[in-house]
Amino acid sequence: MSEQPVTPPAIEDIAPEDTASGAKARQLLGMKGAQAGETSIWKIRLQLMKPITWIPLIWGVVCGAAASGGYEWRFDHVLIAAACMLMSGPLLTGYTQTINDYYDREIDAINEPYRPIPSGAISLSQVQAQIWVLLLAGIAIAFGLDRWANHDFPIITALAIGGSFVSYIYSAPPLKLKQNGWLGNYALGASYIALPWWAGQALFGQLSWTIVVVTLVYSLAGLGIAVVNDFKSVEGDRALGLKSLPVSFGIQTASWICVLMIDLFQLAAAGYLVAIGQNLYAAILVLLIIPQITFQDMYFLRDPLGNDVKYQASAQPFLVLGMLVTALAIGHSTVATVF
């Protein structure tokens, strides 16, 4: 694995117990830089589900609800929105991450040997049981959400099943979409942006083909975010023949592809907001892109291997805020059209 450059003073300033506790926290959240040694089976199961990856899906539900124009701050709406977040985040994203670890155990043995499966902390049969429990629970909640919304066609259930199928073919042979840098990363980006957005919007309003197209275009920015995650796995991907963008194009070229995808398709979303008459929201979205570009230059383009985590922590908040701005603009436009 590539090592992140750390200056000696930074190491000296960190007490050993702080380093150990930080590694344990990263381990539970599913972040880079963890350590092996966890013995609690429930913490190991949580580590497989990578809680850090739930946040974009939960946020996507928020954006869909905002874009629907039908969400109200009432107890039942809050409760149902929380159920949709549970389905999208801990359950179905947890399923996605667990099945990915299951099929990536050989790659993880090279890139992240401290992960639960390559380290031997959990058996394959236990992992398989976890996959089924998370999948079935997520689909069951989706069906309940459709019943609450009185959908004639169970659209949220269909989204849950379709998204789960995409997760499966992303990780599992023979298709294993992640072997193709473009297709795999787009599938990941759409799953993180479009799918939870659709679920939130269908839950509280109407999901139109226009919104489907807009969010799929926005997901091309998510493709750029997905590419960031490939930089930590370059050695294992290259060894096992996976054609991630950093492997196919080289580190520097892939880093430029990554940032351009993120910025250009957010600008395209701003253009759409201008087209529907939401100029103020479009201006706010453009202003949120500016600090992203700054952090891209400061961190990612200069050292994508060493600064990938630092870049995501500093720049991605502006991306997700931009998503919410776009959703609020669409919701405002929807309400204005109705009245």
DSSP 65-133: HHHHS---SSHHHHHHHHHHHHIIIIIHHHHHHHHHHHHTHHHHHHH-TTSTTTTTSS-HHHHHHHHHH
- pLDDT attached to residue 33: 57
* Single pTM value for the model: 0.86
Which regions in the chain score pLDDT beneath 50? 1-18, 338-339
Phi-psi region of 150 (alpha: psi -120 to 50; beta: other; left: phi over 0): left
- pLDDT attached to residue 251: 92
- pLDDT attached to residue 7: 37
Residues belonging to the chain? 339
- Going by C-alpha positions, the residue among 103, 149, 116 that lies closest to residue 38 is 116
Is-contact 30 50, C-beta < 8 A? yes
Q: What is the mean pLDDT of the chain?
A: 88
**Side chain identity at residue 124, one-letter code:** L
pLDDT tens for 226-260 read 888 788 778 878 887 778 899 999 999 999 999 99
Tell whether omega for the bond before 196 is within 30 degrees of 0, i.e. cis.
Answer: no
